[in-house]
Amino acid sequence: MSAQPETESMRPPSAESVADFLRRMRVGIEDGLDPLTAAQRAATELPRTVRRALDRLSRRLQGEYYEDEWGFDEEFAEAVYPLFEFLYDVWWRVEVDDVRNVPSHGRALLVSNHAGSLFPFDASMILGAIMKEHPLPRWARFLVLDWAFVLPFISTFMKRVGGVPASTHNAARLLDQNELVMVFPEGAKGTGKQFSDRYRLQRFGRGGFVEVALRTGAPIVPVAVVGSEEIYPKLADARPLARLIGAPFAPVTPTFPWLGPLGLIPLPSKWRIAFCDPIDLSEHGPDAAADRRLLFDISEQVRETIQARLYESLVKRGSAFM
Amino acid sequence: MSGRRVVITGVASQWGAELARRLERDPSIEYLAGIDDAPPAVELERTDFIEADIRSPLLSRLLPGTGAETIVHCGIRWFPEPGKPSRVLHDVNVIGTLQLLAACERTETLRSLVVRGSAAIYGCEGPAPCFFTEEMARRLPLRTRFQRDASELEAYIDNFARRHAEIVCCILRYQPEIGPGLDSPLVRYLSLPVVPTQLGFDPRLQLVHVEDAAGALEAATRNPARGPVNVAPSGAISLSRILRLARRPFVPIPHPVFGPALERLGRRLGAGPLYGDGVRLLRYGRGVDNGRLRSDIGYEPRFDAVGAVRDFASATGSRRIGPSLHPGDLAGRLAGFGR
C-alpha cells in the first residue's frame, strides 16, 4: 500500500498527446479498420501515464478495486487528497507540533476539539497532518455525526474516506482491528457553538470514548486544533430551519447564506495542530470500563489537557489570519 | 447426534426443501417429515410430507404425533409470491409462528427449535452501527411491516424459550441471499437490464450466498445454539461495486421517487416489487457481525461478501449475448493493448 498519493497518473494528458492519438486513430480508420481496433492501435503510442490512468479507470469500472468492510476506499481517498492538500498547504498554512505522539502502528484513539460550524474540516486536517508530517504516514478513521449518514452524497463521501457513524460499537471494532480512530467528544455542541465561545471546550459527551479506550486497551492521544474556529464564524443560529431539515443547528456566518454558494468558501485562517503526549490506560484493564467515576476522571483529564494545549497554541499562532 | 427425528415446517420453500435433501443423505437421522400447504417442488426420497397449513390449529394435533426432537421452521416468508400477496405475509409469519409454538408446547419429545428469521429486526438506518451483534436487536425504530413482523415473531420465540429452558431455541437472522439461479426480488433487481439506484447513496450490503444460506441452516439444525445468531458473510460490499462486478449499468434516481419507480419498472420487466425493507436496505444498507455463527454454530461461510457477488456475477455474466460494450472493458483494452 502506497501511503503517498500517486499524483503522476492523475495528471490530465497534454493536448499534444490527445491530438496525436486522434490523428493516429484517423489514419487507422482511413486504412479501413473499425473504430475500436483503430482506437486500440492508436492507444499503443500513448504516454505511459495515460495508459496507467486508463488501466486504473478500467479496473474501477469493473469493480476490481479494494474497499474494506467499512466502505473505506483508499484509492478514492488518494484521489480527493490533492484538494485537501491545497487547503492544508496554501489556504490554512497548517503547522504541526509533536506529530510523533501518534503511534506509527497499532491501535490508538485520537481525541480532538471540534469546530467549524458549516463543515468541520478539522478531521481532514488532522488526517493531512498525519499523512504529510508523520515519518510513517497512515490513514486514520473518524467518527462522524449521525446526521451526516442520512444525507445523500455526504454519507457516501464520508464512508469512502474513512468515516463511520458515531457509535461506541464502531469505535471498539475499529480499534480491535488496530486502526487509528479519531473522535470528537464535543460532537455537535462543539461545531455549533457561537463565535464568541471559540476555543472553549464544551461538555465531553458521556465519556463513551474513554470506555472504548479502556475496553480495547488503546492509548488516548489528545489533539488540540487551532484555526478551525475561524473558518466559518457562527454568529447566529436559524433554529426553525434546523428543525425543518432535522439538522442539529443551522449556522449563520458573515458570508453564509448571504453570498449563496460563495459563502461556503471557508475563511483562510491560520491553523496549528498539536498532538499531546499519549495517555496509556492499559494499567486499568478492560474491566475498569464499567467504573463511571474513572471514566469521568479520565475524560476530564483529557479535556483539561486539550484546553491547556489550545491556549498554548493560540499564543504561539499569534494573529488569526496573517 | 444419534437417532434424531426432524420435522421441517415450510418444506415447500426453497430452503426447507434444500435442508430436507441434505438431511436425507444422513443415515443418523432416523425420521424426517416436512409440513407445508403444498408439496415441495423437488422430489424427496424419505421425507414424510404432511399437508397442513401452518396457520391452522390442526398443527397442535399433528406435531406431537411425529415425535419430533428437532423442529426447523423455514416457513417465514420475506416477500409476496403469486398466490401469497403481502396481506397474507403477516398472517403466515406471525400467526403461523404462534400456532407452531402452541404445537411445540404439546410436543414433549422436542429438544430443539431452529427458526429461519431475518436480520430485518435490526432495522435499516443511516447512522446505524456498521456491524450489528446479536444483542443489538430493536435498538433502531422498526419502520416497515416486515421489520415489525420479524421483531414480533422473535418476541414470541423469546417468550417460549424463557418458559422452556430444556428446549434449545435458535433464531437465525439471515441477511438477504444471492446466488445464481435464486429467484428473489433482490436478485431480480440486480438482474434488471438497467439498474436504478438511489442518487447519492451507496449502501454497504452483505448478501449470503445460497450455498452458505443452506449450509448455515444445516449446521444450525445439527448444532443449535441458544438465542439469535446472525447469518451473513464476513465483510461487506457497497452496492456500486456489486453492480460493477455484475456488469450492470445503473442510473441513479432521487431517493424519494426510487420506491415508486422501481415498482413501476419492476412490474413491467417482471422483477416485482422489492420485499419488506428492500427500499430502505438499498438506501442505507445493513451489516451484521457473523462471529456467533462461526464460533457457536461452528459454520464457516465459504464465500465472503465480495466472493458471493463474484460468484453470482460469473454465473450470470456468461448468459450475455453480443459483444461486450462495457466502458470498463473499452478502457481496459485501450490501456492493455501492445503491452
The 3 state secondary structure assigned to chain A is CCCCCCCHHHCCCCHHHHHHHHHHHHHHHHCCCCHHHHHHHHHCCCCHHHHHHHHHHHHHHCCCCCCCCCCCCHHHHHHHHHHHHHHHHHHCCCEEECHHHCCCCCCEEEEECCCCCCCCCHHHHHHHHHHHHCCCCCCCEEEECHHHHHCCCHHHHHHHCCEEECCHHHHHHHHHCCCEEEECCCCHHHHCCCHHHCCCCCCCCCCHHHHHHHHHCCCEEEEEEECHHHCCCCCEECHHHHHHHCCCCCEECCCCCCCHHHHHCCCCCCCEEEECCCECCCCCCHHHHHCHHHHHHHHHHHHHHHHHHHHHHHHHHCCCCC
Tell me how close the Cα of A171 comes to any Cα of chain B, in angstroms: 10
DSSP state of B46: S
Tell me how close the Cα of A167 comes to any Cα of chain B, in angstroms: 6
Q: For residue B95, give every residue at least 6 positions away whose Cβ sits within 8 Å of its Cβ, in sequence order, or none.
A: B55
Tell me how close the Cα of A194 comes to any Cα of chain B, in angstroms: 26
The count of other CB atoms within 10 Å of the CB of residue A62 is: 18
Question: Which is nearest to B277 in space by CA: B170, B142, B89, B138?
Answer: B142
The count of other CB atoms within 10 Å of the CB of residue A103 is: 17
The C-alpha angle with vertex B242 and arms to B240 and B244, in degrees rounded to 5, equals 70
Statement: residue B2 has pLDDT above 80: no
From chain A, pick out residues whose CB is under 8 angstroms from the CB of B234. 69
Tell me how close the Cα of A34 comes to any Cα of chain B, in angstroms: 14
Report d(CA A93, CA A271) in Å as an integer.
6
Give the pLDDT confidence score for residue A9 in this predicted structure: 44
pLDDT tens digits for range B242-300? 999 988 888 999 988 888 888 777 666 655 566 557 888 999 999 999 999 999 999 99
Give the pLDDT confidence score for residue B274 in this predicted structure: 64
pLDDT tens digits for range B62-96? 999 999 999 999 988 887 776 777 778 888 899 99
Tell me how close the Cα of B264 comes to any Cα of chain A, in angstroms: 23
| Contact call for residues B92 and B54 (beta carbons, < 8 A) | yes
Backbone dihedral region of A132: left (phi > 0), alpha (psi from -120 to 50 degrees) or beta?
A: alpha
Report d(CA A38, CA A22) in Å as an integer.
10
| Radius of gyration from C-alpha coordinates of chain A | 23
Q: From the centroid of its chain, how far is CA B32?
A: 23
CA dihedral B252, B258, B264, B270 (to 10 degrees): 70
A21: nearest CA in chain B?
Answer: B334
Statement: residue B323 has pLDDT above 50: no
B132: nearest CA in chain A?
Answer: A169
Report d(CA A91, CA A71) in Å as an integer.
29
Q: Do B336 and A55 touch (CB under 8 A)?
A: yes
Question: Which is nearest to A107 in space by CA: A172, A179, A174, A162?
Answer: A179
Give the pLDDT confidence score for residue A226 in this predicted structure: 94
DSSP state of B136: G
Q: Do A61 and B244 touch (CB under 8 A)?
A: yes
- Beta pairing, strands A220-226 & A180-183: unpaired
Tell me how close the Cα of A160 comes to any Cα of chain B, in angstroms: 10
From chain B, pick out residues whose CB is under 8 angstroms from the CB of A52. 335
Of chain A residues 186-245, which have a CB less than 8 A from chain B? none
Instruction: State the distance between the two ends of chain A, measured CA to CA, in whole angstroms.
Output: 38
Classify residue B252 by burial, with Cβ atoms within 10 Å: 0-12, 13-18, 19+: middle
pLDDT in tens, chain A (322 residues): 344 444 444 455 677 777 888 888 888 888 877 777 777 777 777 777 788 888 888 888 888 899 999 999 999 999 999 999 999 999 999 999 999 999 999 999 999 999 888 888 999 999 999 999 999 999 999 999 888 899 999 999 999 999 999 999 999 999 999 999 999 999 888 888 888 889 999 888 888 999 999 999 999 999 999 999 999 998 888 888 888 888 888 888 888 888 888 888 999 999 999 999 999 998 998 999 899 999 999 999 999 999 999 999 999 998 888 8
Preceding omega of A257 cis (within 30 degrees of 0) = yes
Residue B208 grid coordinates:
449470503
Give the pLDDT confidence score for residue A14 in this predicted structure: 72
- Beta pairing, strands B29-36 & B4-9: parallel
Tell me how close the Cα of B125 comes to any Cα of chain A, in angstroms: 8
Give the pLDDT confidence score for residue B338 in this predicted structure: 40
Give the pLDDT confidence score for residue B299 in this predicted structure: 96
Q: Do B131 and A69 touch (CB under 8 A)?
A: yes
| Contact call for residues B235 and B242 (beta carbons, < 8 A) | no
From chain A, pick out residues whose CB is under 8 angstroms from the CB of B235. 68-69
pLDDT tens digits for range B243-252? 999 888 889 9
Q: Do B337 and A57 touch (CB under 8 A)?
A: no
pLDDT tens digits for range B106-163? 999 999 999 999 999 998 898 899 999 999 988 888 888 888 999 999 999 999 999 9
| Contact call for residues B280 and B224 (beta carbons, < 8 A) | no
ipTM greater than cut 0.85: yes
The count of other CB atoms within 10 Å of the CB of residue A274 is: 22
Residue B17 grid coordinates:
426443501
Element (H, E) at B218: helix B210-222
Residue B256 grid coordinates:
424519494
CB hemisphere CA count around A306 (13 angstroms): 28
Average pLDDT across chain B, whole number? 87
| Contact call for residues B151 and B117 (beta carbons, < 8 A) | no
Q: Do A152 and B245 touch (CB under 8 A)?
A: no
Say yes or no: A65 contacts chain B, CB-CB below 8 A.
yes
Task: Report pTM.
Answer: 0.88
Report d(CA B49, CA B33) in Å as an integer.
6
From chain A, pick out residues whose CB is under 8 angstroms from the CB of B130. 69-70, 164-165, 169-170, 173
Q: Do B329 and A58 touch (CB under 8 A)?
A: yes
Report d(CA A305, CA A181) in Å as an integer.
19
Q: From the centroid of its chain, how far is CA A299?
A: 23
Statement: residue B331 has pLDDT above 90: no
The more confident residue out of A199 and B317 is A199
From chain B, pick out residues whose CB is under 8 angstroms from the CB of A166. 127
Question: Which is nearest to B229 in space by CA: B238, B219, B237?
Answer: B219
Q: Do B200 and A155 touch (CB under 8 A)?
A: yes
Backbone dihedral region of B54: left (phi > 0), alpha (psi from -120 to 50 degrees) or beta?
A: alpha
Q: Do B337 and A173 touch (CB under 8 A)?
A: no
Question: Which is nearest to B231 in space by CA: B245, B219, B243?
Answer: B219
DSSP state of B11: T
Report d(CA B227, CA B172) in Å as an integer.
9
From chain B, pick out residues whose CB is under 8 angstroms from the CB of A212. none
Give the pLDDT confidence score for residue B1 in this predicted structure: 45
Give the one of A39, A70, A173 whose C-beta lies nearest to B334's C-beta: A39
DSSP state of B285: B
SS3 of B171, please? strand
CB pairs under 8 A between A and B: 125
Statement: residue B168 has pLDDT above 60: yes
